[in-house]
Structure 1
Amino acid sequence: MFEILTVCTGNICRSPLAELLLRARLADLSPQVASAGTRGLAAAPMTPEAAHIAVALGVLEQDAAAHRSRFLTEKHLTSPDLILTMTREHRRAVAELAPSRLRSTFTIREFGRIAAAVPEADLRAAADEAGTEASARLRAVASVVASYRGLVTPLGDPNDDDVVDPYRQPWETYLLSASQLEPAITAVAATVRAVAV
């Protein structure tokens, strides 16, 4: 089993959507996927808009309805093999809470972008060297992706590594946020599957 944590601000829009999509798309690998917010609300549900998008993208309605937000603490950062934030600000918040987890922490779009530039053979070699345990394999892959941070052509606009916050914004902003998040989810799932035992 491997563990992924997704992080945003309030844990009611972006990070639960990412959590639910990753859990659904990797279901056959039995992952443990959770989410939290840097300024998480106390046990709040997903916004109706985010829940609607989750269901439209294949999440079961009852799974979207069951989500309850939580506030990110240092304790949540000890066990995940991969920590995926929605923005660079969230990544910085994770690094401040748990500096030792920096090599396992990426914005979700950053991870997808860099992982796509790493030769699959390098990812698989790192995973194979880590053994057959899913958690160790994913940590090894995260470390390899982190090592490519300075080697991949930088973005023209660093904001392109962030997923826009749709909270209290018009429906169009929810759609924009989802359009930024969904390809990153696809890339993360593909990377995880490429090194799965």
Structure 2
Amino acid sequence: MTTPEGRGIGTASTFRILHVSTGNVCRSPITERLTRHALRDRIGDPAGCGLIVESAGTWGHEGAPMEANAETVLADFGADASGFVGRELIDEHVVRADLVLTATRDHRAQVISMGHSAGLRTFTLKEFTRLVRAIDPTTLPDPEADGVVARAHALVQAAAALRGWLLAPTAEADEVNDPYGAPITFFRSVGDEINQALEPVVTALTGVPAHR
């Protein structure tokens, strides 16, 4: 199936989230696996509900494992780090993605520069969080009646519409710093930052708040 913009997708019943960083061994693996972990906590198997979560790197270490400190961070959250394999970002990843969330504005610019009508569905993670917080969840499709895939598509459209109206307080506010080569304490601070940014996003996607 192909969208009106010419972007191919596997099926109308799926929604692909692509997390992008530089090497695909630190930030994007953490974000990918924390997203899956949070989704599983809310709705069970995300793939069973049509949500597919992936990651890649603009200078990705193809076939590489994630950094050991990144695995430790995921273990801290009880998230599964097993089976991860690094990927270098290619056109196919962007073509198939319904939402691209990047670590920094530079990554966002690189994804958009690849074309594929990516501009309206590519945000930095923290930018998307900021926009999602401003969206009234009652204006989104009901996940029970319409499904989380329909809700996810509507959420991306609503966030894109807000982007020009709701600006970041500072340029750095929409970025997640690179912990590559840093000690575990810095990795953990980045993990906390990512986890906090994901919480409202996953809540908005699923309509289910985090378990307390």
TM-score of the pair, normalised by structure 2: 0.81
Question: Which residue matches 1:143?
Answer: 157
Match of 1:51 among 66, 71, 77: 71
The residue that corresponds to 2:103 in the other structure is 86
Aligned to 1:22: 35
Q: Secondary structure at the match of 1:66?
A: coil
Structure 1 position 117, deviation (Å): 1.0
Letter in 1 for 2:158: V
Q: Give the deviation of 1:99 after TM superposition.
A: 5.0
Name the amino acid aligned to 1:168: G
Q: Which amino acid aligns with 1:45?
A: P
Please give the root-mean-square deviation of Cα atoms over the aligned residues, in Å: 1.8
Query: In the aligned structure 1, how far is the partner of 2:120 from the partner of 2:182?
Result: 33
What's 2:126 paired with?
A: 109
Query: Greater helix share, 1 or 2?
Result: 1
The residue type paired with residue 151 of structure 1 is W
In structure 1, list runs of 5 or more residues that go unmatched: none
1:38 aligns with 2:58: yes
| 1:164 and 2:177 matched | yes
Contact 2:33 2:74 in 1 (8 A): yes
What corresponds to 1:72 in structure 2? 89
* Partner of residue 196, structure 2: 183
What is the aligned length? 186
1:158-193 Cα distance to aligned partner (Å, 9 max, x none): 111111100012223212211221111112111101
Q: Give the C-alpha shift of residue 157 in structure 1.
A: 1.8
Distance 1:24 1:51 in 2: 14
Superposition deviation, residue 133 in structure 1: 5.8
> Where has structure 1 moved over 3 Å in runs of 4 or more?
131-137
Kindly, what percent of the aligned residue pairs are identical?
34
Which amino acid is the alignment partner of residue 140 of structure 1?
A
Q: Output one character per residue of 1:14-71: Cα deviation in whole Å (capped at 9) or x when no partner.
A: 10111111112112243211100000012111111000001111213xxx13111010
SS at match of 2:117: helix
Q: CA deviation at 1:92?
A: 0.5
Query: What one-letter code is carried by the residue in structure 1 that aligns with 2:65?
Result: P
Could you say which residue in structure 2 is the equivalent of 1:10?
23
For residues 161 and 101 of structure 1, what CA distance do their matches in structure 2 show? 18
